[in-house]
Amino acid sequence: MDDIITTTDLRKSFPARGGAVAAVRGVSISVRRGEIFGFLGPNGAGKTTTLRMLTTLLPIDAGSATVAGYDVARQPQQVRTRIGYVSQLGGADELATGRENLLLQGRLYGASKQQVMPRAETLAKLLDLADFADRRVITYSGGQRRRLDIALGLVHEPALLFLDEPTTGLDPQSRANLWEHIRALRDGGTTVFLTTHYLEEADALCDRLMIMDHGEIVAEGTPRTLKQQVAGDAIVVSLRNGDLDARRAGAAVRPEPYVRELSAGDGQLRLYVDDGGTALPRLIRLLDESGIGIRSISMSEPTLDDVFLRQTGRSLRDGGPDGAQASARPAEKETAR
Amino acid sequence: MKTIRDTGLLFQRHLTELVRNPVWLFVGFSTPILYLALFTPLLKHLAHLPSNAVLDLFLPGILALLAFSSGVSAGFNTIFELKGGVIERLRVTPASRFAILTGPILASMAMMFVFDAVVVAVGAGFGFSVHWTGLPILAVLLGLLMVITSAFSIATALVTREISGFAAVVNGINLPVLLLAGVLIPMSFGPAWLRVLAHFNPLYYLVQSSRVLAGGTLTGTAVWQAAAVLVPLTALTLAWATSVVRKAVS
């Protein structure tokens, strides 16, 4: 068996005013040994809740999960010794030094102090912590702290590491640096399961990913195959007269033979075409003949956002990192859990 | 045994944290001394007693008060750790859930005994009569009360999850428990119904027994009553709080 995680119809609801709110609605996944597997979705999609169930932190309502060869609900201790988990919040002791944190964490996994010391040394080197390992954590920068958090999750050499939004709040440089570290872990044989709401991160980092929305999996595959599902090129046209024109333009363009998919709204026309190079001049001519003013026009190869848009009818970017979608559904805000 | 080992590790962790927090240390030392310095003259005036007699009456109650208030406030740290992801970090390890609860409680207790020793030493300087036989037994009862209040406080913090809800619960129980314990004002000043009500307050038994024990009497009724109330209550709160740690979310 090459799957390090398998789940069947995993479900979780939280009590809320006016009845239970389903945060995870039947998630079935399989993660292969040695890959970087990603959960992509907006805040509130149920990513963290799923992760908490897989890491024994949250009781499972229904369905089953096997992690690192053991049933999560029935053998939580076995699972705990085999996985590492780094929460969004980190959780290092601020008044202790990085090294003290590592030593304690290793000992909580049952190792002796003598066993942990060389391991802490190795991890400090691996994650570039050596220079400040003996300083108190409260003095660390955001990126340094994140790397310590990850080192804490790795101290017992788990075969599987869970990272919940590992790069949230980091500057672009620290983010790129952390990606390198995560790739190095995978290359060293560790399976990495991460959640993210950054498209670029999922695209650049994950070998395989699932897109999650409202507690359900809406798409799965490698970033490449997912993007290939959205055929050809994406063209976005901003219209001068907003919504009124968008509707007219939609009606005018839809019958054209080169249009694979089309959506019109918010003063924009968004369409997917087989070949942008031939479609674009024809599209511009048609709009011009119909007397529809163009404000701007852009063409791009499909991104994971196009995949998300196609599956859910919404853009991941619209909401931004702390998206409007998430705050409009407060009951599903998973960070509060 | 694993539980004992884990408790030791988490005891050490919390103790290091306490000792590295200078503000907390300063307040910890100064609060009981302030109580003594401010209340002793007041009681002396009120009861027309010499200051050594007032200390004999009042100082044991201060020790009980210290155990209660440091226990009840334990949950504030829990909320802080919850927000910082510390609780999750510990709960995802195979460490004993009982140890995750009791390690920090025992560390705070060790610090409390240091503060207690300072209070007794300072009090002795001003005429408090030290009876070496009663104080160790008093220490056991103080420890039990601290376990009860800390475990209750930590579990309440894990259930309420937010500082506002938790603070409301703590403030809500603080006033009646302290008033009905007879620490600052003796219960004998109050009407009969108030004295009856006091018998439902675990702190009341500790305060009563603390006076007897500090006076050197080991087998007074108050001592047995305190033990009979505190021991089962300790077991009960620990069992409940451990189950809360097991299921705690976030």
pLDDT for res A68: 95
Residue with the bigger pLDDT between A20 and B76: it is B76
Q: How many residues does chain A have?
A: 337
pLDDT for res B179: 87
Cβ within 8 Å, pair A57-B92? yes
Residue numbers in A near B88 (CB within 8 A): 57, 85, 87, 89, 91
Residue numbers in A near B6 (CB within 8 A): 108
Q: Which of B85, B90, B95 sits opposite A89 (nearest CB)?
A: B85
- Dist CA B170 CA A330 (whole Å): 28
| Nearest-by-CA chain B residue for A153 | B89
> Mean pLDDT, to the nearest integer, of B163-183?
91
Q: Do A277 and A265 contact (CB within 8 A), yes or no?
A: no
| Nearest-by-CA chain A residue for B1 | A110
- Dist CA B28 CA B212 (whole Å): 26
- Mark which residues 45-74 of A lie under 8 Å from B by CB: 52, 55-59
The confidence band for B48, taking pLDDT boundaries of 50, 70 and 90, is: confident
For a pLDDT cut of 70, what percent of chain A falls above it? 93
- Mark which residues 52-91 of B lie under 8 Å from A by CB: 83-91
- Dist CA A280 CA A269 (whole Å): 13
Write phi, then psi, for A161 (nearest 5 degrees).
Answer: -120, 125
* Dihedral, CA of residue B41, residue B46, residue B48 and residue B54, to nearest 10: -50
pLDDT for res A19: 84
- Dist CA B171 CA A90 (whole Å): 30
- Dist CA B176 CA B165 (whole Å): 18
Among the ranges given (A182-196, B37-51, B70-84, B145-159), the one the predictor scored with the smallest mean pLDDT: B37-51
Beta bridge partners of A87: A90
| Nearest-by-CA chain A residue for B160 | A337
Closest CA–CA distance from residue B168 to any residue of chain A (Å): 20
pLDDT for res A1: 53
SS (HEC) of B120-170: HHHHHHCCCCCCCCHHHHHHHHHHHHHHHHHHHHHHHHHHHCCHHHHHHHH
Q: Give the Å distances, CA to CA, from A229 to A304, A309, B153.
A: 10, 12, 54
Residue with the bigger pLDDT between B182 and B78: it is B78
pLDDT digits (tens, 9 = 90+) for B68-117: 999 999 999 999 999 999 999 999 999 999 999 999 999 999 999 999 99
Beta-carbon contacts of residue B74 (< 8 Å; ≥ 6 apart): B104, B105, B108, B149, B150, B153, B154, B157
The confidence band for A304, taking pLDDT boundaries of 50, 70 and 90, is: confident
Q: Is the pLDDT of residue A60 over 50?
A: yes
Q: Give the Å distances, CA to CA, from B137 to B132, B151, B199.
A: 10, 21, 21
pLDDT, mean over chain B = 91
Q: Give the Å distances, CA to CA, from B82 to A337, B77, B79.
A: 11, 8, 5
pLDDT, mean over chain A = 88
The confidence band for B250, taking pLDDT boundaries of 50, 70 and 90, is: low
- Dist CA B220 CA B237 (whole Å): 26
> Mean pLDDT, to the nearest integer, of B237-245?
95
Q: pTM here?
A: 0.85
| Nearest-by-CA chain A residue for B87 | A91
Cβ within 8 Å, pair B92-A100? no
Cβ within 8 Å, pair B92-A152? no
Burial class (CB in 10 A: 0-12, 13-18, 19+), A162: buried
Q: Which of B10, B88, B94 sits opposite A80 (nearest CB)?
A: B94
pLDDT digits (tens, 9 = 90+) for A164-222: 999 988 888 989 999 999 999 999 999 999 999 888 899 999 999 999 999 999 999 99
Q: Is the pLDDT of residue A331 over 50?
A: no
